Structure 1
Amino acid sequence: MTSIFDNTQFGRFTLKSHIIRTGLWESQNDGKNLTPEIYERYENLAKNNVGLIISEMISLYSHDRFSDYSHYINYPQFVKEFRELTDAVHQYNVPIFAQIGFINCNVNGKQMMEVNDLTLEDIRKIQADYLIAAKKIAFSGFDGIQLNVGNNYYLSRIMDPFENQRNDNYGGNTYNRVKIVLEIIKLIKQTTDLHVHCRVNLYKDFDDSMEICRILAENGADSLQVTKFLSPQYFRKTLSNENMLVEFANKVAGEVSIPVVLGGGLSDMEKINNLINETNIHFVSMQRPFVRSHELLTKWKEEGHGESDCKTCNNCYWKKASTCLIKSQE
C-alpha cells in the first residue's frame, strides 16, 4: 500500500510526499517586501514533509482585484528577495513553484476589458507580460510556475465556453479557447527551464473540461491541478460536489500522461491514503490546513494518522490572511 509519505515522481522532481501545499493570500508582507515571518513560514513548510510548495498568489498586474493581498511580479526587489526565499526552501530538497495570475484585464491603456473585447494586440501584450514574469520567476530560483487559469482568474474566463463568444481563432471550439494559454506555455518553455503547472477548472460542462485538460497535457503543460469553478468565497463543501471533483480528477489522471493534483477538499490522512491507493489520483493539494499548521504533515507522519485542526471557517479567505485568525486568538 502506498503511503502519502512515500517518495514519488512529479515530472523531473522527486517529492518527499504526495501532498502539495498551495498558497493563496499574503498578509505578512511589509508593503511589498518579504518579511522575516514570510521566510520563516516557507522554511517551516519545507522542513515538515510537504512534497511541493506553491507560493502565495503573485499578481501579474498592479491594481488588480486582489493585488493588495498578493505579491507583485514587478516589485523592484522581487528577484533578490525571492531568490533568498527559494534558497531557504531548497536547503530541504523541496521544489517550489510560483503561482501567478490576474483577475481584471487592464492592458494597453484600456480598463476592465471583457474576454470578447480583447484585440490581437491585447492578447500579445498579455502573453508578453507572462513571458517577462516567467523569466523573473526563473531568475528568482523557482523550479516551476503555476499558471492560475482556474477559479475565476481571467484566463479561466477565456477558456469558459459560456463566457467566450469570440468568433476569431481564440473562440469557438475548445482548442481555440485554450490557445492563448498554449501560446503562453510555449513561450515559457522556449525561454526557461521552468516546470509549467496549470491550475484548471472543472467547469459546468464536464466533457469540455476534460477536453481542456487533454489539450493542455498534449501541448506543453507538465502537470495539472484541477479545482472547482467557484472560489471558497462561494463554495460550501457537500458530499455531492466533493465527489464530483474527485470523479473529474480521477478521469483526467487516467487519460493524461502528466501528474494530476486534486485541488483541495481533503485534510484527513486516512482519506488521502485511500484516495491515492484506490484512484488514479496520486497528488492532493491543501491550502487552509497549512494556514492552520505548518507542522501538520510531520505530526501525521509521527503518529501514523491524523486530521487537520482547520475548522474550515474560511476566515483566512474572507480576511485575505496568510495566518490563521482563530489560532491567533486561542
Structure 2
Amino acid sequence: MKSIFDNTTFGRFNLKSRIIRSGLWESENESQKNLTQEIFKRYGKLAENNVGIIVTELISMYSHDRFSDYSHYINYPFFIKEFREVTDIAHEFDTPIFAQIGFVNCNVNGKQMIEVNDLEIEDIRKIQTDYVIAAKKVAFAGFDGIQLNIGNNYYLSRVMNPFENQREDEYGGNTFNRVRMIIEIIKLIKQTTNLHIHCKVNLYQDRDDSLEICKILAENCADSLQITKFLSPQYFRKGQSNENMLVDFADNVSKEVSIPVVLGGGWSDMDTIQELINTTDIEYLSMYRPFVKSQSFLTEWMENKHGSSKCKTCNNCYWKKSSVCIIDSED
C-alpha cells in the first residue's frame, strides 16, 4: 500500500514524501523586495518537516506585472545572494527546492499589454531570452529546479489556449504549434543549466487538447508536470465536479506520460490523499493553503498516522495576497 511518506524518486531527487509544497504570494518582503528573517524561518520550517519538494512563492519575470506587488522579482539586485540563503536552508535538510517563475501581462520591447495574437517574432524571442536569463539566475542561486508557471491565467497558458491563440504562423493553429514557444524555452534552459523543469499546466475546456499539451511537454524535455485548472484554486472544494474532473484528468495524464505528474487542487486531509494515491496512478499532490496555516503539519500527520489541516479554507491568504494566515498564524 502506498503512503504519503514513502521515499520516492522524482526525476533525480529522492523525496521524503509525496507532498509538494506549492507557493503563491509573498507578503513579507520589505519595500525593496529584501527577504526578511521571517521568510528564512518559514522556509526552514518547511524543509525540516517532511515536505517532498518546496516550490517558492511566485518570482515575477517583470516589474509592474499584475501580481508583482505581491511577489519576488527576478531582477532584484540581491536576488542571487538572498535566495542562495533560502536554498542553503532547504539543502541543509536534504529538501529539493524549485523557483516558481511566471508573468501575466506581456510588456516587452517597449510595448504594453501585448495580446497573444499580436506577438511579433521579436517579442517571442525577447520573452525566451528573458526566461533563459531568469533560469541562469535561479541556477546561480542554488535552486534544484524551476517551475514554469504556464497554468492558471498566466501569459504562457494563454499562448497554449486554443480558444485564445488564433495565430496563423508557426506559433498558432495545431496543438504542437501553440506549445512551440514553451518547448523552445525549455530546450534553451536545458542547454544552459542543469535545472529540473517542472511545468504547471492547465486542464482547459478541451480535455483532449489538454492531454496532448501534456504529452508534448513530456516528450520535449519537461521533467515533471503539475496539473491545475484555468480557474484559481479557491474554486475547488471536496466533492465538487471541478475537483473530480481534475483528478480524472491527472490520472489520465499519469497513465500517458513517463515523467512525474503532480495533482493540484485544495487537498487537506490525509485519509483522502492516501485513498487517492492508492486508487489512481497519481503519485504526487501539491498543497498551498495548509502550509500557510502551518509549515509543520506533515510531521504531525506522520507521527499520528492521520490528520487534517487546520486551515479553514477562508481564502484570505489568496484574496489578500498574503503568505501568512490572516486568522491565526503558526507561532
TM-score by length of structure 2 reads 0.98
Q: CA deviation at 1:328?
A: 4.3
Correspondence for 1:15: 15
In the TM superposition, 1:87-236 aligns within 5 A as 87-232=88-233, 235-236=235-236
1:76-134 residue CA offsets vs partner (Å, 9 max, x unmatched) = 00000000110011000000000000000000000001000000000000000000000
1:7-59 residue CA offsets vs partner (Å, 9 max, x unmatched) = 00100000000000000000011120000000000000000010100000000
More displaced, 118-127 or 271-280?
271-280
Q: Is the 8 A contact 1:223 1:258 kept in 2?
A: yes
Q: CA deviation at 1:249?
A: 0.1
Q: Is the 8 A contact 1:2 1:276 kept in 2?
A: yes
Secondary structure at the aligned position of 1:221 is classed as coil
Correspondence for 1:301: 302
Q: Percent identity between the aligned chains?
A: 72
Q: CA deviation at 1:231?
A: 1.1
Correspondence for 1:28: 28
Letter matched to residue 185 of structure 1: I
Q: Is the 8 A contact 1:292 1:327 kept in 2?
A: yes
In structure 2, how many angstroms separate the alpha carbons of the residues matched to 1:267 and 1:74?
34
Correspondence for 2:79: 78
Secondary structure at the aligned position of 1:147 is classed as strand
Letter matched to residue 27 of structure 1: S
Secondary structure at the aligned position of 2:328 is classed as helix
Correspondence for 1:247: 248
Task: Note the residue ranges of structure 1 that are not aligned, 5 or more in a row.
Answer: none
Letter matched to residue 55 of structure 1: T
Q: Is the 8 A contact 1:232 1:314 kept in 2?
A: no
Secondary structure at the aligned position of 2:233 is classed as coil
Q: CA deviation at 1:215?
A: 0.2
Secondary structure at the aligned position of 2:221 is classed as coil
In structure 1, how many angstroms separate the alpha carbons of the residues matched to 2:111 and 2:209?
31
Letter matched to residue 243 of structure 2: E
Correspondence for 1:3: 3
In structure 1, how many angstroms separate the alpha carbons of the residues matched to 2:225 and 2:315?
25
Q: Is the 8 A contact 1:27 1:69 kept in 2?
A: yes
Q: CA deviation at 1:311?
A: 1.0
TM-score by length of structure 1 reads 0.98
Q: Is the 8 A contact 2:243 2:265 kept in 1?
A: no
Task: Note the residue ranges of structure 2 that are not aligned, 5 or more in a row.
Answer: none
Coordinate RMSD, CA, aligned: 1.1
Correspondence for 1:314: 315
Q: Is the 8 A contact 1:19 1:51 kept in 2?
A: yes
In structure 1, how many angstroms separate the alpha carbons of the residues matched to 2:139 and 2:192?
10
More displaced, 275-284 or 158-167?
275-284
